Structure 1
Amino acid sequence: MRGMSADSRSTPTRRLAAPVGILAAVAAAFAYVGAVDPNEPGHYPVCPLLRFTGLYCPGCGGLRSAHAVVHGDLPAALHANAIAVVGYLLFAVLWTVWVVRAARGRPLRLDLRSVHLWTAGALLLLFTVVRNLPFGGWLHP
């Protein structure tokens, strides 16, 4: 079996165990947030940055966004936290690629370079700054 990777020699069940496990954990988290409404006070902790400074962090509204996605309300999800919705979509695409590659016996390889990480960080910072400026009120959760 020279030339074959360890992933291609393992059983399909073994190769799919990690992606299925990750999906189960994410689905359980979304199910919990879908059942326990973050719009009602007392269920989840308050964002410390918002509580002590009045500023919205990039994660503020993420639970409300997830709750809206679970209930099929995309406009409310985008209003609560647009960047989180992009993250959910990115996760779905990457997870799908992972499953297809695992089923074919190929490992998932992400070739992230520093430019990709700096760009993602800059976009996150821009989102955070804009949502805290007066004209960025439409990005408030």
Structure 2
Amino acid sequence: MRKRLARLANHRLATAALVSGGGAGALLLLRLVDPNQPGSLLPACPFFSITGLFCPGCGATRCLHALAHFDLSAALAMNPLLVVSLPALAILTAHGAGLLPAALLPLARQLCRPVAWGVLLASYGIARNLPWQPFSWLAPG
């Protein structure tokens, strides 16, 4: 039993290290590469390229680039849902790695509802394609 707990703890630490390393690498890439420039190394949204419609993730790369440069207003202009969701995503990541403080477990349980996330993302994807205000403010750019 003790070996199993030690393996689980090592697995959680390895997961946390992998997520942290990936996040640091992505942050460095977003600090160095500007997705707003023509011919950028970072790809455009394939959903938008095919359909001409904004998906819930459209503008996420430019949003994260703006956040990496501490430009909150530009980030909100690109993908406001992502900016607002980042604290929830951090809590879910810490929960998944087993590093979440016990005081935040009830909040994590509420955030771990896939149906709620699905409804939110589908609604957001529809709303940001509507051509009138205030919905047009949700479109990237």
Shared fold (TM-score greater than 0.5)? yes
1:49 aligns with 2:62: no
Q: What CA deviation, in whole Å up to 9, does each residue of 1:51-92 have, x standing for no partner?
A: 233211111100001001111112211221122223432232
Same amino acid, percent of matched pairs: 35
The runs of 5 or more residues in structure 1 that have no matched partner are 103-109
Is the contact made by 2:48 and 2:55 (CA closer than 8 Å) also made in structure 1? yes
Q: Which moved more, 1:42-51 or 1:67-76?
A: 42-51
Once the two structures are TM-superposed, the CA of residue 111 in structure 1 deviates from its matched residue by 5.7
Which residue of 94, 113, 117 maps to 2:114?
Answer: 117
Change (3 A) 1:5 1:74: farther
Distance in 2, Cα, partners of 1:86 & 1:47: 20
- Show the 5 A alignment for 1:19-98: 19-43=16-40, 44-97=42-95, 98=97
Give the letter for the 1:30 counterpart.
Answer: L
Distance in 2, Cα, partners of 1:12 & 1:100: 10
Change (3 A) 1:15 1:122: closer
Give the letter for the 1:37 counterpart.
Answer: D
Aligned residues: 131
Please identify the structure whose Cα radius of gyration is greater. 1
Once the two structures are TM-superposed, the CA of residue 138 in structure 1 deviates from its matched residue by 0.8
Query: Match for residue 137 of structure 2?
Result: 138
Query: Match for residue 129 of structure 1?
Result: 126
TM-score by structure 1 length? 0.74
The runs of 5 or more residues in structure 2 that have no matched partner are 102-107
Structure with the bigger RCO (C-alpha within 8 Å, sep 6+) is 1
Classify the secondary structure of the residue corresponding to 2:79: helix
